[in-house]
């Protein structure tokens, strides 16, 4: 993997891939400076009026403003339903992204700021620019996860996800898939992992004896990060990465197609990491149409899904059930469910509705 000195471009399989990153603000803009001796309400009022606010002294001053902003908005959005909380998060995101930090020579220009390696990796060509405070927090969290690694129980190993790459934080669906793999009696010559992300499903399949996995992802950061991992562990012969949407225009035919899609229908056009959570209306019809062409006659499609949208009352239909009822392409061979554990005690979101959440594993075969 080679990085261009002037731009964030990675060489991969003879092609150039540009990594996604939080958009830097490089133009001259008027800002309202904020220091911690000031009343945070002044910063909130400036944000509400549409003005960017620059944290000018300590990193913790930004945390104070964000905490005060959350308190302010929670009074406005008291509805604890899934939809009510979505509206709260939407306005918080809009306002909080006007709170800025200055970056100079790959470091934050405030006191007692964290060291974030991504600033050098993702912005090699920029000396000075601004970033929204929440995006700096995301970069910081991502760097910690990347450096320390994340333990995945079904793999008995850590993964080190590249910035902007989806990785699991709960593992019931992985355990469900692992148990299915233990009992899988079909061929194991090849499989396609659609939306490979941080590679967990692929690593599970390798653990259970699959000879070759083709992993696709439309997220360039997923491909860049996994390519780095394959180089370190010297397993390129077993995993081939392909950058592109769904099957990425490849002509492969395989005995197993695995897909862990987003679980919630989008009410807007999802971008970035939101694509790992929300799906557009055309995703599943496109996936099933293409799967039929890429699946061998006796092959299987395995989808990992959830009833999350139904219990959160943000969707009336189940896209896999719709395909089975109306698609005419596949029939159900197996359907498994597993109860989801309670949310972490550290989460601040009201997730009582999760008590009835079930992760699902669907195994489909071509219609006879």
58 and 110 share a domain?
yes
What confidence score (pLDDT) does residue 196 get? 96
4 occurs within a structural domain: no
What confidence score (pLDDT) does residue 87 get? 81
Token duo for residue 207: 């653990």
pLDDT value at 243 more than 50: yes
251 and 360 share a domain?
yes
pLDDT band at 106 (very low <50, low <70, confident <90, very high): very high
pLDDT value at 337 more than 60: yes
Q: What is the pTM of this model?
A: 0.84
Q: Is 129 left (phi over 0), alpha (psi -120 to 50) or beta?
A: beta
What confidence score (pLDDT) does residue 116 get? 97
Q: What are phi and psi of 300, to 5 degrees?
A: -135, 150
53 occurs within a structural domain: yes
Range of the domain at 110: 9-146
What confidence score (pLDDT) does residue 249 get? 85
pLDDT value at 272 more than 70: no
133 and 164 share a domain?
no
119 and 160 share a domain?
no
What confidence score (pLDDT) does residue 350 get? 45
Quote the DSSP letter at residue 268.
S
Length of the chain in terms of residues written: 368
Instruction: Please tell me the distance from the alpha carbon of residue 124 to that of residue 8, in angstroms, as a whole number.
Output: 7
Q: How many domains does the chain have?
A: 2
3 occurs within a structural domain: no
Region of poorest pLDDT, from 9-18, 140-149, 289-298 = 9-18
Residue with the larger pLDDT of the pair 137 and 234:
137
CATH number of the domain residue 236 falls in: 3.40.50.150
271-295: average pLDDT: 83
70 and 128 share a domain?
yes
45-66: average pLDDT: 96
pLDDT value at 348 more than 80: no
140 occurs within a structural domain: yes
171 and 116 share a domain?
no
The per-residue b/e assignment along 310-349, b for 16 or more CB within 10 angstroms, e otherwise, is: eebebbeebbbeebbeebebbeeeeeeebebeeeeeeeee
Domain boundary among 130, 146, 162: 146
């Amino acid at each position: 993997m080679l990085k261009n000195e002037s731009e964030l471009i990675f060489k991969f399989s003879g092609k150039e891939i540009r990594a996604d990153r939080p958009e830097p603000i490089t133009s001259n803009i008027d800002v309202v400076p904020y220091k911690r001796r000031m009343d945070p309400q002044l910063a909130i009022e400036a944000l509400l009026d549409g003005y960017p606010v620059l944290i000018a002294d300590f990193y913790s001053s930004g945390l104070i403003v964000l905490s005060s902003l959350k308190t302010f908005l929670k009074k406005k959005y008291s509805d604890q339903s899934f939809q009510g909380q979505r509206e709260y998060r939407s306005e918080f995101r809009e306002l909080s992204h006007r709170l800025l930090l200055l970056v100079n020579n790959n470091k934050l220009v405030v006191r007692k700021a964290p060291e974030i390696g991504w600033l050098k990796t993702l912005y090699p060509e920029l000396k000075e620019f601004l970033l929204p405070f929440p995006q700096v927090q995301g970069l910081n969290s991502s760097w910690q996860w990347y450096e320390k690694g994340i333990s995945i129980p079904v793999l008995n190993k850590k993964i080190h996800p590249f910035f902007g790459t989806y990785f699991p934080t709960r593992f019931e669906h992985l355990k469900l898939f692992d148990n299915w793999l233990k009992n899988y009696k079909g061929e194991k010559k090849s499989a396609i992992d659609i939306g490979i992300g941080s590679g967990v499903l692929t690593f599970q399949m390798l653990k259970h004896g699959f000879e070759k996995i083709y992993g696709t992802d439309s997220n360039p950061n997923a491909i860049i990060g996994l390519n780095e991992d394959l180089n370190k562990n010297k397993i390129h012969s077993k995993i081939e990465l392909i950058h592109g949407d769904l099957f990425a225009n490849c002509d492969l035919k395989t005995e197993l197609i695995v897909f862990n899609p987003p679980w919630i229908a989008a009410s807007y056009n999802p971008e970035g990491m939101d694509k790992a959570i929300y799906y557009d209306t055309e995703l599943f019809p496109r996936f099933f149409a293409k799967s039929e062409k890429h699946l061998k006659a006796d092959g299987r499609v395995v989808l990992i899904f959830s009833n999350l949208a139904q219990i959160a009352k943000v969707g009336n239909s189940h896209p896999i059930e719709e395909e089975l009822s109306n698609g005419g392409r596949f029939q159900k061979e197996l359907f498994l469910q597993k109860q989801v554990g309670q949310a972490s005690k550290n989460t601040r979101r009201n997730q009582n509705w999760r008590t009835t959440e079930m992760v699902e594993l669907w195994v489909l075969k071509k219609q006879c």
